[in-house]
Amino acid sequence: MTAIHLDDIKPGDRTRSSRVTVTEAHIVWFAGLTGDFNPLHMDAEAAKANGFGRTIAHGMLTHSLSTGLRSAIDDWAILAFLETRRRFVGPVFAGDTVHYEAEVAEVRPSASKPDRGIVRVAITVKNQRGETVQEGEDVLSIARKEAQA
Amino acid sequence: MTAIHLDDIKPGDRTRSSRVTVTEAHIVWFAGLTGDFNPLHMDAEAAKANGFGRTIAHGMLTHSLSTGLRSAIDDWAILAFLETRRRFVGPVFAGDTVHYEAEVAEVRPSASKPDRGIVRVAITVKNQRGETVQEGEDVLSIARKEAQA
């Protein structure tokens, strides 16, 4: 595997991730990991009145899952994950299958560190019907190629 | 427990959450849940060169844990989690103990739905030394009190 450096990434580059089916097991696991047992996610009876009629996955679960999906971004020479934001625009239910579509919005060498730069990526998470469930942006620190002699 | 409605929340209201110690178990669990096995989090030998000298917790793990910590916000009549953003400004290592400090930045009745409104909360996640490790904002949909007769 050849790492993809800042110099290889261009605004407008697009990638599409692998998919994952969000299951009841993910929701229970995430609740146990984080301690977020909000009735929206855990209480089917209460959820009958939540506007969707059933429990929904934690927005942060889908957000977290999206950061683990395989894509070309995995081959980037990532030094750090600097920033993330998401709008939770549609519900994800157990049984839904999600992926993300990403487009590079900005590539900028670091002003202070010549060995790296910043890449901003617009992220759209979609379900199996192509409906957008989350949208936002991730910002990563990416290594530059080593200076040539 | 009496739910706290939109009408009870004011800009400038502050809350401090419970704490959680982030452990190796959290990191392994989160990697297994999400599929994010980046060497920054999983490979102690590779991590010796990452600028911190050791593996760090996933930024999204700390972010997710922060949304599950107990605070006065748990008593809010939350209808939906609409939006989140975080800058990952400092590393979290296994053994660190984190909490968040929150301040209500905006309270706004919904223009279209008279039964609810929007609350924006500034979030700062700190470690046991009081150092900020993440900062950002969460946006929630909160129920209003039922109209009086």
pLDDT score of A149 more than 70:
no
CA-to-CA separations, B43 to A115, B27, B38, B149, in angstroms, rounded: 22, 12, 8, 63
Mean pLDDT, residues B116-124 taken together: 97
User: Which is higher by pLDDT, A57 or B52?
Assistant: A57
Beta strand pairing status for B132-143 and B78-88? antiparallel
User: Which is higher by pLDDT, A146 or A145?
Assistant: A145
A87 touches B: beta carbon within 8 Å: yes
What is the spatial distance between Cα B25 and Cα A21, in angstroms, rounded to a whole number?
24
> Which chain B residue has the Cα nearest residue A27?
B33
What is the spatial distance between Cα A30 and Cα B75, in angstroms, rounded to a whole number?
21
pLDDT value for A147? 57
Separation of first and last alpha carbons in chain B = 24
CB atoms B34 and A85 under 8 Å? no
Q: Which helix (H) or strand (E) holds A136?
A: strand A132-143
User: Is there a contact between B134 and B58 (Cβ–Cβ < 8 Å)?
Assistant: no
pLDDT value for A1? 59
Give the model's confidence band at A19: pLDDT under 50 very low, under 70 low, under 90 confident, else very high: very high
CATH 3.10.129.10 corresponds to the domain B6-143:
yes
Give the model's confidence band at B1: pLDDT under 50 very low, under 70 low, under 90 confident, else very high: low
Length of chain B: 149
How far is the alpha carbon of A10 from chain B, nearest alpha carbon, in Å? 23
CB atoms A36 and B68 under 8 Å? yes
pLDDT score of B82 more than 50:
yes
pLDDT score of B85 more than 90:
yes
CB atoms A68 and B34 under 8 Å? yes
pLDDT score of B149 more than 50:
no
pLDDT score of B52 more than 90:
no
Task: Delimit the domains of chain B by residue range.
Answer: 6-143
